[in-house]
Amino acid sequence: MSTAKDLCIIAVDEGPGAGVGQGDLSLVLAGAELIDLLAVQAASLDGDSIVPGGPAQPHDELVAEAGAALIRKMPYESVEDWLWRRGRDLSATYQAALEAAGQLTRGRRALLPFGNDHLEVAETPVRRRARSRWEAGEPTLLALAKAAGVVATRDEDAGGHQDEGAVEDEAVATVLAIVNDAVMQLEAVRQRRSIENAAFANVWRTP
């Protein structure tokens, strides 16, 4: 499994209250794939540019696909450009992969991350692994989930909010910062379109 698939499982598992949008999740999934590529040295960062690495192959097929999609000629692609290019409809790709593997099943809950589909996470070792990372408060997974709109909470004796700890790897921290910026850009586009649509509608209502 990969960080991206773990994130998908958590997004579905947390239910409708998580407030996850497909566009946001797709951008964050592209960031998660890049973080996994960095982890196996299939890529590195030079500033905010993605430099393809050596022959290391990720175990996850979608992350391997992401590695094959890296720009291998200079000038290398920026992390921001990667998120928008690789992230296009990526949440639907992960949904299909998880369903095909039996990790997501059709159920009675209507969950936001994948539109109106009725999906549930199957009780498998894969789900238990994702939940273990989540409940342990793994900083990278929590930061990605927060960027995607998943509310990170857990039951504790004292109660309270589960905040991610510091991400120590500089390259991972760079990716996370750019992911957050991209999600904010997407939200700004949504708000601008909403205002434009409302203004257009008002024109037609004016006598």
Question: pLDDT per residue over 82-110, tens digit each?
Answer: 999 999 999 999 999 999 999 988 765 44
Question: pLDDT per residue over 103-126, tens digit each?
Answer: 988 765 444 455 545 678 889 999
Question: For residues 2 and 141, is the Cβ–Cβ distance under 8 A?
Answer: no
Alpha helices for the chain (secondary structure H): 3-13, 22-39, 61-68, 79-86, 90-100, 125-135, 139-148, 170-205
What is the model's pLDDT at position 34? 97
Own/partner pairs for 11-15, CB < 8 Å, 24+ apart? Answer: 11/113, 11/145, 11/148, 11/150, 12/104, 12/111, 12/113, 12/114, 12/119, 12/120, 12/121, 13/121, 13/127, 13/130, 13/131, 14/150, 14/151, 15/109, 15/111
Residue 79, pLDDT > 80, answer yes
Question: pLDDT per residue over 37-77, tens digit each?
Answer: 999 999 999 999 999 998 777 889 999 999 999 999 999 99
Q: d(Cα 120, Cα 111) in Å, to the nearest integer?
A: 8
Residue 181 to residues 39, 64, 120, 144, 174: CA-CA distances in angstroms?
22, 25, 30, 12, 11
105-30-84 Cα angle (round to 5): 120
Residue 29, pLDDT > 90, answer yes
